Amino acid sequence: MSERCVNFNYPSETKMKPESPFNTLPPVVVVLALAIVGIEAIFQLANYGVIGGPRGVGWRISAINEYGYSSAILDRVLVNGDYSFDMLKRFVTYTFINGQLVQVAFCAALVLALGKFTAEYYGSLKVVILYVVTSIAGAVVFGLFVESRYPLIGAFTPVYGLIGAYTYALWLRLGAAGENQILAFRLIGFLLMLQLIFGLIFGGNNQWIAELTGFFTGFLLSTLLAPGGWNSLVARMRQRS
């Protein structure tokens, strides 16, 4: 019997190595999600006495007082002319302080999902622009219409901003495919209905004003940030007229 040389093609080490799920996520999106989750993790560890000692229990309240936002902050800026960093930082830092674990889980998951899509469609830098601008816009409108000192905290405002950017991109794609563009607003409609149900069951607050502002700001800002920007939008509108 003649000896045959059999050539087995084993996959290389690099092919066999499992790919990390973080490799597909833009770094800026990972950083935002880790900041939201990491800060909450510190609060939880402090609540259980793992870090901070007896004073750790009050770290969340201290953080709200130091980095949270309320209508009183807007009054100090506009009426008293206090443009110090301590005041201005709150227009963004409030988004990294959440009140509940469920809120943190939802915000982090949505930031990862929507942030990935937004970064791929618009660009990583524009994710940061959307996050910051929608946070500021939501805070300003909240301060103008909510007179109570109830603090505005949580990442839902910029998350709704990312939803606005996602909706605009989907709106463009549906239009290019000749489909009904109203379908692009299904996600925001579902979330608003869900929020209404939770508000009726558990009681609501006025934070929806900031969140809805974040959505519309994200949607409108995307007309400038999308590929082709405003000129591309005008060209498409002219083609339909």
Give the pair of three-digit tokens for residue 7: 């050539």
Lowest-confidence segment of 10-19, 118-127, 174-183 by average pLDDT:
10-19
How does residue 16 score in pLDDT terms, banded at 50, 70 and 90? very low
Determine what percent of the chain is predicted with pLDDT higher than 90.
59
100-105: list long-range contacts, CB under 8 Å, 24+ apart: 101/40, 101/44, 103/154, 103/155, 103/156, 104/36, 104/37, 104/40
pLDDT tens figures, 60-70: 999 999 999 99
Cα separation of 93 and 165, whole Å?
A: 21
pLDDT tens figures, 200-219: 665 567 889 999 999 999 99
- pLDDT for residue 42 is more than 70: yes
Give the pair of three-digit tokens for residue 208: 């929806």
How does residue 225 score in pLDDT terms, banded at 50, 70 and 90? very high
| Number of residues assigned to the chain | 241
- How does DSSP assign the chain, residue by residue? ---------PPPHHHHSPPPGGGGS-HHHHHHHHHHHHHHHHHHHHHTTSSSGGGGGGHHHHHHHHH-B-HHHHHHHHTS----HHHHTHHHHGGG--S-HHHHHHHHHHHHHHHHHHHHHT-HHHHHHHHHHHHHHHHHHHHHH--S---B-STHHHHHHHHHHHHHHHHHHHHHTT--GGGGGHHHHHHHHHHHHHHHHH---THHHHHHHHHHHHHHHHHHHSTTHHHHHHHHHHHH-
pLDDT of residue 190: 86
Give the pair of three-digit tokens for residue 99: 């009140």
Question: Are residues 95 and 135 in contact, defined by beta-carbon separation less than 8 angstroms?
Answer: yes
How does residue 239 score in pLDDT terms, banded at 50, 70 and 90? low
Determine what percent of the chain is predicted with pLDDT higher than 70.
83
- What is the domain partition of the chain in residue ranges? 24-240
pLDDT of residue 202: 55
| pTM of the shown model | 0.85
The domain made up of 24-240 has a fold known as: Rhomboid-like fold (1.20.1540)
